[in-house]
Amino acid sequence: MPSSPTPSPTPEPSGVRRRSLLGAAAAAPVLASLAGAGSAAAAPVASATAGPAGGPRALPGGGDLGPNVIVFDPSTANIQGRLDEVFKQQESAQFGTGRYALLFKPGTYSGLNAQLGFYTSIAGLGLSPDDTTINGDVTVDAGWFDGNATQNFWRSAENLALVPVSGTNRWAVSQAAPFRRMHVRGGLNLAPDGYGWASGGYIADSRIDGTVGPYSQQQWYTRDSSVGGWLNAVWNMVFSGVEGAPAQSFPEPPYTTLETTPVSREKPFLYLDGDEYRVFLPEKRTDARGVSWGNGTPRGTSLPLTQFYVAKPADSAATLNQALEEGLHLLLTPGIYHLDRTVEVNRAGTVVLGLGYATLIPDNGVTALKVADVDGVRLAGFLVDAGPVNSATLVEVGPEGASADHSANPTTVQDVFVRIGGAGPGKATTSLVVNSRHTIVDHTWVWRADHGDGVGWETNRADYGIVVNGDDVLITGLFVEHFNKYDVQWNGERGRTVFFQNEKAYDAPDQAAIQNGSIKGYAAYKVGDDVSEHEGWGLGSYCYYNVNPSIVQHHGFAAPNRSGVRFHGLLVVSLGGNGQYECVINDTGSPTSGTDTVPSKVVQYP
């Protein structure tokens, strides 16, 4: 186990990677032939089954998963050809409309290289990753972007065992690209071919038998997993509950290592029980370490697909709400859903699970989704894209003033991503509001776009990324970027964050545009002045004021100076000297300076 960085075979890039300067990829044309590619999974339809009050249910549970869920079994002909066809469409379709889920039934597959492009998810359909083995690779590289992986967003791999052809699988991703519940019988390379820039990433509930080589990855968070080794670090590598993780050593090398994860509950997933589709709901773990599936069958419960309304993109918000009112859960099949009203999740234990980056777009300034102050709601696996009319909020977990105790059965928000602009004009005052106590947000990227269509200081105005008002909230794997004011504002007591990655908005026109009273700029992560207890581990904020490089940001982090408010492993970076930080947190920490992109760090605060 290396306790210090190991040199990569090619010198690691030390320069600045910038998405905005390199531009956005044009969306690839839609391949009409894909509409019928592969066998879309079907499940029994249960019409007129009982609703929550025992009366007849008007909407059916279960049903066909639609044309963009492509299901393979080991006997399927020309699997590679179908994978290649999806990849050809999605490789550079950064803001395209294609959405795909590639699902593999349990068994063994050989000679495959599943290259993943945008809005593509690949997953096995077993209860354990080892039920579905690919003798081959699941690959993310950056050839479409000249070897730069900093825009390899919105793709995922889940619940598979891989035996890489070369002994090492390449997974060169950046934000919103989870690697969950995977077993790599070999090594894992997180850099693109040529070791170009990369800005990821997230691994959870996975076992990598060999060494993980991040190489050029600027930051990474790994949770409740097992690794055979970890090669090096650039700016910020964070581990919680990871067997084989490097020892705590921040600031040099910048490893922040927690022996366990305080509370975790793995993401729900679709699987096959014989010929029947079910959704598995993993149980909550406290002080978790290692994978949840290590002894075979995972612990938790499951639901038949007949208890889900299998939604299609043409469904209205009224239909989704009707299904929820009738006691059904929601399975969002791949595609884009326009919502003219809020989707209301009011029943305890409701599951809203997306496949293939199903995307919700609120029209006319509505909130896309609201959750009541109830136990055990699970939101997972979908993207919320702001509409052109400003929404006050996009996602609300619990109403204002929510106060119920959910410690025994919290709401979880996992791989729920938010975007404002990029695919077109979008506005939202606040993206995600968490009011319910004990909520677990496990991996999110909340992004005010810095490139693409509909981008500009006022064009895709979005003041706040995440606002946490509820007490006892835990966030593991928090990525929030480019908001006009606070990226994160935390008002609840006893909040905890394990890993934070941030970039301040690039496009501020001048110092006055970001002035926060007497303070230069809004902190990336602001803990409310009245908060008594809060804790964070492994938090980084970067500035790249490319429109006006003379802008000064006083600090990346702001918090009350109290003994109960504690931070471990903080850093700020000026990317190439485009703007500077005067301090790291409050008035503490050295200023950044020059153009060398060297982090300024604070090991402990206070």
The pLDDT tens digits for 539-572 are: 999 999 999 999 999 999 999 999 999 999 999 9
Residue 4 has pLDDT above 60, yes or no: no
Amino acid identity, residue 267? K
- The residue with greater pLDDT, 421 or 24, is 421
CA 180/CA 157 separation, integer angstroms: 6
Residue 125 confidence (pLDDT) above 80: yes
- Mean pLDDT for the stretch of residues 301-321: 98
The mean pLDDT value for 246-259 works out to 98
Task: Give the separation between CA 497 and CA 480, rounded to whole angstroms.
Answer: 13
Specify the pairing of strand 261-265 against strand 284-288: antiparallel
Q: What are the helix (H) ranges across 45-78? A: none
Catalytic residue set: 503
Please give the pLDDT value at position 52: 56
More confident residue, 29 or 557: 557
127-140 pLDDT per residue, tens: 999 999 999 999 99
Q: Supply 552's token pair.
A: 């000064």
Average pLDDT, the chain: 92
How far is the C-alpha of 198 from the C-alpha of 172, rounded, in Å?
7
The token pair at 31 is 């391949």
CB–CB of 433/392 below 8 Å?
Answer: no
Mean pLDDT for the stretch of residues 185-208: 97
Mean pLDDT of 419-423: 98
CA distances from 517 to 482, 484, 485, 543 (A): 20, 14, 12, 20
Tell me the percentage of the chain whose pLDDT exceeds 90: 90
Q: Which of 22-31, 461-470, 582-591 has the lowest mean pLDDT?
A: 22-31
Residue 296 pLDDT more than 80? no
User: pLDDT value at position 297?
Assistant: 75
> Is residue 383 over pLDDT 70?
yes
pLDDT reading at 8 higher than 60 = no
Q: By three-state DSSP, how is residue 423 classified?
A: strand
pLDDT at res. 57 = 73
Residues in a beta bridge with 553: 581
Backbone φ, ψ for residue 131 (5° rounding): -70, -20
Question: Which letter does DSSP use for residue 6 in this model?
Answer: P
CA distance 423 to 400: 30
